[in-house]
Amino acid sequence: MSNIVLPILMLQIIKLPLGPIQTNCYLLADAEIKICVVVDPSGSAQSIEKVIRKEGWHLQAIWLTHAHWDHFLGLVALLEKYPETPVALHVLDLPLYQAGGGARWWNIPIELGPAPRIALEQVRTLQVGAHSAQVLFVPGHAPGHVAFYFAHAQALIGGDVLFAGSIGRTDLPSANHAQLLASIRAQFLTLPDATIVYPGHGENTTIGTERVSNPHLLDASW
Ligand SMILES: [Zn+2]
Ligand SMILES: [Zn+2]
């Protein structure tokens, strides 16, 4: 009799750069039980729906890292396809969300989404099927910014906090540079080097790479 080795089922992560500034939307799935979550529906709901349909997944929730318009531009259209799906947001980003995420500064028309049903300030962990994510509070780029950390998958869905070679903008209203750096130091740089950062814009990176090469984190004065 041979040993049967069961494959370790990983969290499945699909990245879709969407919308006018190619903001990364992520589909996170427990493929075994066919449950998925959409993080930051940043554009074409059709593109998101296409993946969900093709994979045969059930959409369980929509999580927002923060409420800048480019991270929820496709939210209302996605909810039309998947009504009653709960939306998660931190309360400190609610005013930004209700104001259209700053879309008006850029003359971008945006439909306002429904009231969030999952209040992220009250939640320490979230589930995608069998996969647990810690909700990390990382204000600075936006006052209610959160990130989703899947320790067993070594995956950090980071939003606009830390990018490959860069960090989130803090020249926007209600942003705070010192707070952003403090968030990165306390919540991100304490994670293992192998952790893959899935950012809100651009290519993936790792905590280890950014720790030793990100110019914003090498400045000794912070
Ligand atoms: Zn942002
Ligand atoms: Zn963004």
Q: Look up the CATH number of the domain holding residue 24.
A: 3.60.15.10
Ligand 2 geometric centre to CA of 22 (Å): 9
Ligand 1 geometric centre to CA of 11 (Å): 25
The overall average pLDDT reported for the chain is: 94
Ligand 1 geometric centre to CA of 32 (Å): 32
Residue with tokens 């589930």: 127
Domain count, the chain: 1
Where helices occur in 9-141 by DSSP H, the ranges are 45-55, 75-81, 94-98
Residues 6+ apart with CB under 8 A from 154: 192, 194, 195, 196
Is residue 1 in some structural domain?
no
**Which ligand lies nearest to the CA atom of residue 140 in the structure?**
1
Is residue 98 in some structural domain?
yes
Ligand 1 geometric centre to CA of 71 (Å): 7
| Listed residue (89, 92, 138, 132) closest to 114, CA to CA | 89
Q: What is the pTM of this model?
A: 0.95
Average pLDDT of the residues in 128-157: 97
Residue range(s) defining the domain that contains residue 120: 12-218
**Which ligand lies nearest to the CA atom of residue 144 in the structure?**
1
pLDDT > 70: percent of the chain: 95
Ligand 2 geometric centre to CA of 39 (Å): 12
Task: Tell me the pLDDT tens digit for each residue of 46-94.
Answer: 999 999 999 999 999 999 999 999 999 999 999 999 999 999 999 999 9
Ligand 1 geometric centre to CA of 68 (Å): 5
Ligand 1 geometric centre to CA of 169 (Å): 7
pLDDT band of 3, cuts 50, 70, 90: low
Is residue 2 in some structural domain?
no
**CA-CA distance, 169 to 181, in Å (whole number)?**
11
| pLDDT of amino acid 104 | 82
Task: Tell me the pLDDT tens digit for each residue of 147-194.
Answer: 999 999 999 999 999 999 999 999 998 999 999 999 999 999 999 999
Q: Is the pLDDT score of 221 beyond 70? A: no
Is residue 137 in some structural domain?
yes
Ligand 1 geometric centre to CA of 184 (Å): 15
pLDDT band of 106, cuts 50, 70, 90: confident
**Which ligand lies nearest to the CA atom of residue 141 in the structure?**
1
pLDDT band of 222, cuts 50, 70, 90: low
| pLDDT of amino acid 6 | 53
Ligand 2 geometric centre to CA of 70 (Å): 6
Is residue 4 in some structural domain?
no
Neighbours of 17 (CB within 10 A): 15
Burial letters 35-44, b for 16+ CB under 10 A, else e: bbbbbbbbbb
| pLDDT of amino acid 107 | 86
Ligand 1 geometric centre to CA of 207 (Å): 20
Q: Is the pLDDT score of 220 beyond 70? A: no
Is residue 6 in some structural domain?
no
Where helices occur in 30-118 by DSSP H, the ranges are 45-55, 75-81, 94-98
Ligand 2 geometric centre to CA of 59 (Å): 23
